[in-house]
Structure 1
Amino acid sequence: MENTNKIASLELGRLLAMFAIIALHSQVFMTYLLMDDFPVFGNIFNQLTRFAVPFFFILSGYFIQPKLTHTPLKTIQSYCAPLFKIWIVWSALSLALPFHWRKVAENGYLAERTGYWNWLTQNPLNALFEGGMVHLWFIPALIIAVSIIGLLVHFKKTTWLIPIAVILYVYGLAGGSYQTLTEVWTPFFTRNGPFFSTLMVVIGFELRRREITLSSTNALILLLVGFAIHFSEAYSLTQFDVPFNLHDFLIGTPLMGIGVFFLLLSKPRLGHHPITFTLSKHVLGIYVCHLLFVVVFLNITAMMGITLAMRDFVIVFGTATVSTLFVLIMDKTPFKRILFR
């Protein structure tokens, strides 16, 4: 059935961003298309995909704004409690399921898992804000961002939203990609927690609250400017021995996310098809499970000796297909209430 309450282009954006994240986590183009034995194309592709997570945060702020404005405390509880449950469940699964099958075969399950568990305990605070697997950081970061906004709305301090979000973002940059230059101390990896997510969610919140829109031309210009700034920063930081593909967020990254958001918003009927609406509502489920399937296909391709472009194809499209099928199948079972929202 056609869903008239959703903007087709933004739902399509969810799917495109999810595919970009799968490709990012599959580490495509890193072993071929080399220049002087360096994966130039792979590093560029890595950073091109960095629009995806900011886009997800902006989208979250945009859609939650009406409820968060009218009933902030109730919305914090109703929105964040299911997310927290998902984070707990998938953290537990990620802690339990082995990543390196050959090591399990050679040394046993406990030997393989103990190494990973010990690695997590080296920085327990970081693990607390991340969860059982690296990609799960998105969920507590979103919970914290929504909670900060909701509390400020509740106490009628909405004028503090942007200043607080910007301060957190600047600190996140100073303690993250720019730490080599700033030498700022941070208690944990600043990609996690409130540092980057708060600004992204606030942007979405404010765009909806202030009813801000851009034409497709201006949105495209904003997107290109964002990419130009982001890539210029990434290249400049290589002069200080910061790897080009390291960066989750830079100064230009929010502009990338905003540009993609406005570009899609300016074409609301783009992707208007029942399949878009059917799949997009399962993106969170696909997100939380996809990295475990990346691990599965990494092991399969390694055991079968599949390399180069074929390896990337199998991992990316295998993960996208199996993750989607898994979520669709689970959606028809009682496990849906345990695994997903």
Structure 2
Amino acid sequence: MVFIMENTNKIASLELGRLLAMFAIIALHSQVFMTYLLMDDFPVFGNIFNQLTRFAVPFFFILSGYFIQPKLTHTPLKTIQSYCAPLFKIWIVWSVLSLALPFHWRKVAENGYLAERTGYWNWLTQNPLNALFEGGMVHLWFIPALIIAVSIIGLLIHFKKTTWLIPIAVILYVYGLAGGSYQTLTEVWTPFFTRNGPFFSTLMVVIGFELRRREITLSSTNALILLLVGFAIHFSEAYWLTQFDVPFNLHDFLIGTPLMGIGVFFLLLSKPQLGHHPITFTLSKHVLGIYVCHLLFVVVFLNITGMMGITLAMRDFVIVFGTATASTLFVLIMDKTPFRQMLFR
């Protein structure tokens, strides 16, 4: 998601995958289909769509590991510094912006800016460790998780412990599941929400790293089978866990989720020329920028649709496509200004 190369070295289909995954995340955060197409007042279609989009973040992590593998293998400590320092800066900047910008405009109008913001700041302080791993807004968890995963891999390489990569990543993932979606069954204690931090990101980045290091590929047919198996396992788990009062749409990661991300990755890798167009390359290099700002634009369009009384399918359309368009235009405009270095990289 964040590793940038020259267009001549890029794989068109993977760059297209970045854009599709980013759009899926925007739709996920827009909470589409949750107020209509109901069955017994339950948003069945909305919950299914919610889980369908869960391939996106694993795909981004896998992609990051895949692209960083050569540099991380040859100069691990130097690569940790050069890769993670800009990400940390972006995380700080957008955390500050997210803490400062109001979410509920009506509340600001009625009670003032500080009243609206104080409520959010107080909510974050209720679980400060979790807030530390997320930053100023929930979606920013991706950045610290990626930094930690890359750092773990780089340090293990530096200390000649490459054989520990997969075991450590699997142990972290299992603990993340036990303390996350399966916590109702396991009663495992965790200091913070296990989606954050190293628990899931490490395995996903290691997978991408190992796929490139070992030069593993799959045919499009086998990749599609792997993808469908991943979706089948993920959805079966999500449905089964509803018997234990775990909401169907709660899950970021389950046992089948890595297979979803790997399946999408291999499917795109098997069709390298898919999406080969200048627009793909132009937009894909801005995906990190779109990611860090998109949720603030979701907030903007939530307020606009609320004030205008727009509901149902039109509300979803305005929020999703408004956010995708506005966040993309914002990043493209900022890229032409001195603010680019401060806001993005």
Q: TM-score range by the shorter chain?
A: over 0.9
Return 5+ residue gaps in structure 2 as ranges: none
C-alpha distance in structure 2 between counterparts of 1:85 and 1:136, whole Å: 12
Task: Report runs of 4+ in structure 1 exceeding 3 Å deviation.
Answer: none
Deviations, residues 96-152 of structure 1 (Å, cap 9, x unaligned): 000000110111100000000000000110011000000000000000000000000
Whether the aligned pair in 2 keeps the contact of 1:32 and 1:39 (CA below 8 Å) is yes
Kept in 2, the 8 Å contact 1:175–1:184? The answer is yes
Kindly provide the CA deviation profile for residues 260-287 of structure 1, in whole angstroms up to 9, marking residues without a partner as x.
Answer: 0000000000000000000000000000
Give the gaps of 5 or more residues in structure 1.
none
Q: Distance in 1 between matches of 2:116 and 2:194?
A: 28
Q: Alignment partner for residue 278 of structure 1, among 278, 282, 285?
A: 282
Alignment equivalent of 1:80, drawn from 75, 81, 84? 84
Q: CA deviation at 1:22?
A: 0.1
CA distance in 1, matches of 2:6, 2:51: 35
TM-score normalized by the length of structure 2: 0.98
Question: Which whole-Å deviations, capped at 9, do the CAs of 1:10-39 have from their partners, x for residues lacking one?
Answer: 000000000000000000000001111100
Tell me how far apart the structure 2 counterparts of residues 228 and 3 of structure 1 sit (CA, whole Å). 35
Is the 1:220–1:263 contact (alpha carbons within 8 Å) kept by the matching residues of 2? Answer: yes
SS at match of 1:36: coil
Count of residue correspondences = 341
Mapped to 2, the partners of 1:191 and 1:74 lie a distance apart of 27
Contact conserved, 1:29 with 1:41, CA < 8 A, in 2?
Answer: yes
User: Contact between 1:101 and 1:299, CA under 8 Å: does it hold in 2?
Assistant: yes
Distance 1:184 1:288 in 2: 31
How far apart in 2 are the matches of 1:4 and 1:153?
A: 29
Shift of 1:2: 9.2
Measure, in 1, the Cα distance between the counterparts of 2:316 and 2:126.
Answer: 32
8 Å contact from structure 1 (residues 87, 136) kept in 2: yes
Partners of 2:9 and 2:157 lie apart in 1 by 26
Residue 196 (structure 1) aligns with: 200
**Among 301, 304, 327, the residue aligned to 2:305:** 301
Distance, in Å, in 2 between the alignment partners of 1:140 and 1:4 is 30
Q: Give the 3-state SS of the residue equivalent to 2:9 in structure 1.
A: coil
1:184 corresponding residue in structure 2: 188
Aligned pair partner of 2:58 in 37, 54, 57: 54
Give the match's secondary structure for 2:7.
coil
Cα deviation for residue 162 of structure 1 reads: 0.2
Q: Supply the distance in 2 between the matched residues of 1:63 and 1:111 (Cα, whole angstroms).
A: 44
Partners of 1:2 and 1:273 within 8 A in 2:
no
Contact between 1:2 and 1:274, CA under 8 Å: does it hold in 2?
no
Name the CA distance, whole Å, in 1 between partners of 2:112 and 2:181.
Answer: 37
CA distance in structure 1 between the aligned counterparts of 2:185 and 2:36, rounded to whole angstroms = 32
**Cα displacement (A) at 1:3:** 2.3
Mapped to 2, the partners of 1:255 and 1:311 lie a distance apart of 33
TM-aligned CA distance change 1:337 to 1:37, over 3 Å: same
Secondary structure of 2:8's counterpart equals coil
Among 107, 110, 125, which residue is 1:106 paired with?
110
Preserved CA contact (<8 Å) 1:68 1:75: yes
> 1:331 deviation in Å?
0.1
Whether the 8 Å CA contact 1:297–1:314 is kept in 2: the answer is: yes
Q: Distance in 2 between matches of 1:179 and 1:65?
A: 33
CA distance in 1, matches of 2:304, 2:163: 52
Task: Quote the sequence identity (%).
Answer: 97
CA displacement at 1:155 relative to structure 2: 0.5
What's 1:316 paired with?
A: 320
Q: In structure 2, what is the Cα distance between the partners aligned to 1:87 and 1:3?
A: 26
Matched residue of 1:4: which SS? helix
Distance in 2 of aligned mates of 1:236 and 1:75: 42
TM-score (norm 1): 0.99
Asked whether the equivalents of residues 223 and 256 of structure 1 are also in contact (C-alpha less than 8 Å), the reply is yes
Deviation at 1:4, TM superposition (A): 1.9
Change (3 A) 1:336 1:297: same
**2:10 is paired with a residue of what secondary structure?**
coil
Check the 8 A contact 1:89/1:338 in 2, yes or no. yes
Question: Is the 1:230–1:250 Cα contact (8 Å) retained in structure 2?
Answer: yes
1:155 matched to 2:159? The reply is yes
| Counterparts of 1:238 and 1:214, CA distance in 2 | 34
> Which residues in structure 2 correspond to 1:92-241 (within 5 Å)?
92-241=96-245
C-alpha distance in structure 1 between counterparts of 2:337 and 2:250, whole Å: 39
Deviation at residue 219 of structure 1 after TM alignment: 0.1
Q: Provide the C-alpha distance between the structure 1 equivalents of 2:26 and 2:256, rounded to a whole number of angstroms.
A: 22
* Residue equivalent to 1:43: 47
Distance, in Å, in 2 between the alignment partners of 1:301 and 1:249 is 31
Give the Cα separation in 1 of the matches to 2:11 and 2:227: 20
Say whether the 8 Å CA contact 1:76–1:146 is kept in structure 2: yes
Cα deviation 1:179-237 (Å, max 9, x = unaligned): 00000000000000000000000000000000000000000000000000000000000
